[in-house]
A = this chain, B = another copy of it.
Amino acid sequence: MDIGTIAKPHDRLAETLAEDMAAVNAIIRTRMASKHAPRIPEVTAHLVDAGGKRLRPMLTLAAAQLCGYAGDHHIKLAATVEFIHTATLLHDDVVDESGQRRGRPTANLLWDNKSSVLVGDYLFSRSFQLMVETGSLRVLDILANASATIAEGEVLQLSAAQNLATDEAVYLQVVRGKTAALFSAATEVGGVIAEAPEDQVAALFEYGDALGIAFQIVDDLLDYQGDSAATGKNVGDDFRECKLTLPVIKAVAQATPEERVFWTRTIEKGQQAEGDLDQALALMSKYDTLAATRVDANRWAAQARKALCALPDHPLRGMLEDLADYVVARLK
């Protein structure tokens, strides 16, 4: 597959969904307001205006349209999904003590951690109000479960990230929480609101789940092999932050006792010295774990693509297929 021909399926989605997305953005503007606390829209606008790709709400819109939905509840659901995403970003920045997000200083830095925690709570409550307005208990159930999975995955990551006992199954659980749970909920609720047949709803869930997992694996891989000019991240940031991700987990699984000592020191104890990143990269190269991780990412992307077969033939289906390819094409 040639990245040139499939470039930016995201932009094609944005173009196709432009009218609905304008309505979603209007709801986001209206609902992030607060009659009493002006700091809420200030903090939210800082994050919302910074852009972001709005990938998650587009997934909801695309899923609903693909299944022939003619109503307007998908607009509220797309805004719900973006609010949940924004709330988790605000809380993540507090948890990670981040200073930058989307190329701008984070809200916790510009205001304070308090504002980030409480405005995140507010947005989460607002998302919840929006879903209630759709009147679909099934949608509420899906998004409540996704929210619990997100929080659980983040808590799990607190203990798993620096623990050499973390295996691929735990990594997958964390990734589902961090990324895939909201992707799969975003696509699934689109099908549910459209009252699509059960096999299509299941396929939409599977697409979002696999796409989200591929997306996160690629992110973790780019940390070790990315072009820092393109990704805006430095090679090895995860290593320096002692975060166990898939390429390292695969190297730890095959480590000699001596190599294990190295990983224990650098990841579990966080004692790193000059040259350790090079040594880590050498060990990943020894076991070819970057290639093995790439294989995993491609497998998840292929699974996402395959799930779409159950869905109606539609131009949006082609764009979602291309999106799955594009996620892993970032690796080329």
Q: Which residues of B contact A37 (CB under 8 A)?
A: 152-153, 155-156, 159
Fill in one digit per residue for A116-129: 1 if any B CB lies within 8 Å of its CB, else 0: 01110110111011
Q: Is A140 touching B151 in the complex (CB atoms < 8 A)? A: no
Q: Is A141 touching B132 in the complex (CB atoms < 8 A)? A: yes
Q: Is B118 touching A151 in the complex (CB atoms < 8 A)? A: yes
Q: Is B144 touching A39 in the complex (CB atoms < 8 A)? A: no
Q: Which residues of B contact A115 (CB under 8 A)?
A: 155, 158
Count of chain A residues with a beta carbon within 8 Å of a chain B beta carbon: 44
Closest residue of chain B to A114 (Cβ to Cβ) is B95
Q: Is B132 touching A137 in the complex (CB atoms < 8 A)? A: yes
Q: Which residues of B contact A135 (CB under 8 A)?
A: 137
Total copies of this chain within the assembly: 2
CA distance A159 to B36 in the complex (A): 11
> Which has the most chain B C-beta neighbours within 10 Å: A88, A151, A156, A173?
A151
**Is A154 an interface residue when CB atoms closer than 8 A count as contact?**
yes
Fill in one digit per residue for A146-166: 1 if any B CB lies within 8 Å of its CB, else 0: 011011111110110000000
Query: If A128-B147, A129-B148, A156-B37 touch, does A118 touch B137 (CB 8 Å cutoff)?
Result: no
Query: If A129-B144, A144-B132 touch, does A122 touch B158 (CB 8 Å cutoff)?
Result: no
Q: Which residues of B contact A118 (CB under 8 A)?
A: 91, 95, 151, 154-155, 158
CA distance A159 to B121 in the complex (A): 17
Q: Is B114 touching A152 in the complex (CB atoms < 8 A)? A: no
**Is A100 an interface residue when CB atoms closer than 8 A count as contact?**
no
Q: Is A117 touching B95 in the complex (CB atoms < 8 A)? A: yes
Query: If A129-B141, A132-B140 touch, does A151 touch B121 (CB 8 Å cutoff)?
Result: yes
**Is A228 an interface residue when CB atoms closer than 8 A count as contact?**
no
Closest residue of chain B to A148 (Cβ to Cβ) is B125
Query: If A135-B137, A137-B137, A147-B128 touch, does A34 touch B155 (CB 8 Å cutoff)?
Result: yes
> Which has the most chain B C-beta neighbours within 10 Å: A94, A113, A144?
A144
Q: Which residues of B contact A147 (CB under 8 A)?
A: 121, 124-125, 128
The smallest beta-carbon distance between A46 and chain B, in angstroms, is 14
Query: If A129-B145, A141-B132 touch, does A152 touch B94 (CB 8 Å cutoff)?
Result: no
**Is A210 an interface residue when CB atoms closer than 8 A count as contact?**
no
Q: Which residues of B contact A159 (CB under 8 A)?
A: 37-39
For A173, give its contact among B36, B95, B128, B129 (CB under 8 Å). Answer: B36
**Is A327 an interface residue when CB atoms closer than 8 A count as contact?**
no
Q: Which residues of B contact A218 (CB under 8 A)?
A: none
Q: Which residues of B contact A158 (CB under 8 A)?
A: 39, 114-115, 118
For A124, give its contact among B38, B124, B170 (CB under 8 Å). Answer: B124
CA distance A257 to B151 in the complex (A): 51
> Which has the most chain B C-beta neighbours within 10 Å: A148, A158, A173?
A148
13 A-B pairs whose Cβ atoms sit less than 8 Å apart in the complex: A34-B155, A37-B159, A38-B159, A39-B155, A40-B152, A117-B117, A118-B155, A121-B151, A121-B154, A122-B152, A128-B147, A132-B144, A135-B137
